[in-house]
Amino acid sequence: MKKIIIIVVALAILALIIFRLSTNYKKINASKDVSTDLAYVSVNVFPVSKMTISDSLQLTGYTEAHSEIDIAAEAQGTITSLNAALGQEKSKGSIIATIDDKLKKLAVQTAGISVAKLKKDLERYNNLYKGGTVTEQQLNDAQNLYDNAEIQLEQAEKQLSYATIKSPISGVITRKQVEEGEYINIGSPIVTIVDISRLKIKLNVSEANVYQLKLNDKATITTDIYPEVTFEGNISFISSQGDDSHNYPVEIGIPNNSKNPLKSGTFVKVMIKLPVASETLYIPRESLLGSITDAEVYVAENNKAILKKIVVGNGNDKYIKVISGLKEGEEVIVNGQINLSDNKAIKIVN
């Protein structure tokens, strides 16, 4: 009898626990099931308005050295001196390296002696010709020998000059391919030097925007390297040939700044102001739903929110141009859109 009573009590307790759990579960679900089907949604609106706004392009590019030159040997031989180190600054005309030039100096000396001798011979033949002792042909032969000797001297001097390798530009050495004492051939690379006193910024501009640009247009450049610094530049090149995606290479030239120097290869942000357009329709950016290429807005009509597809263009940080889909004076909803659906009742509070 006691066992039966214990079993009955246990079952009663279990039933009570199950009842309580079920009741609590319903309460929790009921608390989650909050209806959002309000009678109306309070919103703020802004009228579609005609404005004259200076548009701008916001682009990303990277810096590149104004010029980069691979300096190669124009003579063969052993490098007798090398005045080049990575990161070393070189001025235009400074000596980078010299190649063994003993034989070349001897060639210049020999050609010089020959020129001096033939010059005296030519002077003698001129005097003899005036006295009628030699013929005109003999005088011409002497002149030809002298002229050829001068050409050989000039060539020998040129070959000697090739033994001294000079920097054709001012810049910084970024690569060094040889060492002193090494034997090199004509065309062997010596060093690479880059001029970063000026930089060029390379951009790709879409077909829709590139026709609005022209040479010497101003650009404002910023970079995360110097967050508080702006650089000024000008468009120096606009390509006449686009790629398969209809993007056109554009270059902007900027002077490098000794106070805030930039290196070649740095990512930058570029802002180019576009010509001021005629007065046209604009709406606040905050009213826009979706992307620029698939834009929608809610328009307030007869106390309802009407969803409309529109086509938009460029603008600034506050307003965006309306190309089609809206009329002047229509009121677009600028906040509260998260609670809206097409034809939802609204109440304008601004």
Q: Are residues 251 and 295 in the same domain?
A: no
Look at residue 28 in the predicted model and tell me its pLDDT.
47
Q: Are residues 62 and 199 in the same domain?
A: yes
Q: Is residue 234 part of a domain?
A: yes
Q: What is the pTM of this model?
A: 0.58
Is residue 308 classed exposed, middle or buried when 0-12, 13-18 and 19+ CB atoms within 10 A define those classes? middle
Nearest-angstrom CA–CA distance, 318 and 113: 82
Please give the chain's pLDDT, 350 residues, in tens: 666 666 655 666 766 666 666 665 544 444 333 334 568 899 999 999 998 876 778 899 999 999 999 999 999 999 999 999 999 999 999 999 999 999 999 999 999 999 999 999 999 999 999 988 899 999 999 999 999 999 999 999 999 999 999 999 999 999 999 999 999 999 999 999 999 999 999 999 988 789 889 999 999 999 999 999 999 999 999 999 999 989 999 999 999 988 999 999 999 999 998 776 668 899 999 999 988 888 999 999 999 999 999 999 877 778 888 999 999 999 999 998 888 999 999 999 87
Q: Are residues 313 and 336 in the same domain?
A: yes
Q: Is residue 133 part of a domain?
A: yes
CATH number at residue 149: 1.10.287.470
Look at residue 240 in the predicted model and tell me its pLDDT.
94
* DSSP β-ladder status, 171-176 and 89-90: antiparallel
Mapping DSSP to helix (H, G, I), strand (E, B) and coil, where does residue 343 land?
coil
Q: Is residue 302 part of a domain?
A: yes
Q: Is residue 176 part of a domain?
A: no
Q: Is residue 107 part of a domain?
A: yes
SS3 of 63-97? EEEEEEEEEECCCCEEEEEECCCCCCEECCCCEEE
Q: Are residues 216 and 245 in the same domain?
A: yes
Q: Are residues 304 and 342 in the same domain?
A: yes
Q: Are residues 204 and 250 in the same domain?
A: yes
Q: Is residue 156 part of a domain?
A: yes
Q: Are residues 144 and 283 in the same domain?
A: no
Q: Is residue 1 part of a domain?
A: no
Q: Decide if 18 contacts 321 (C-beta within 8 A).
A: no
Domain hosting residue 149, numbered range: 101-162
Q: Decide if 44 contacts 333 (C-beta within 8 A).
A: yes
Look at residue 38 in the predicted model and tell me its pLDDT.
63
How many domains is the chain built from? 3
CATH number at residue 282: 2.40.420.20
Q: Are residues 212 and 252 in the same domain?
A: yes
Q: Is residue 322 part of a domain?
A: yes
CATH number at residue 262: 2.40.30.170
Q: Are residues 62 and 205 in the same domain?
A: yes
Look at residue 33 in the predicted model and tell me its pLDDT.
36
Look at residue 36 in the predicted model and tell me its pLDDT.
45
Q: Are residues 204 and 269 in the same domain?
A: yes
Nearest-angstrom CA–CA distance, 44 and 332: 8
Q: Are residues 48 and 113 in the same domain?
A: no
Q: Are residues 62 and 202 in the same domain?
A: yes
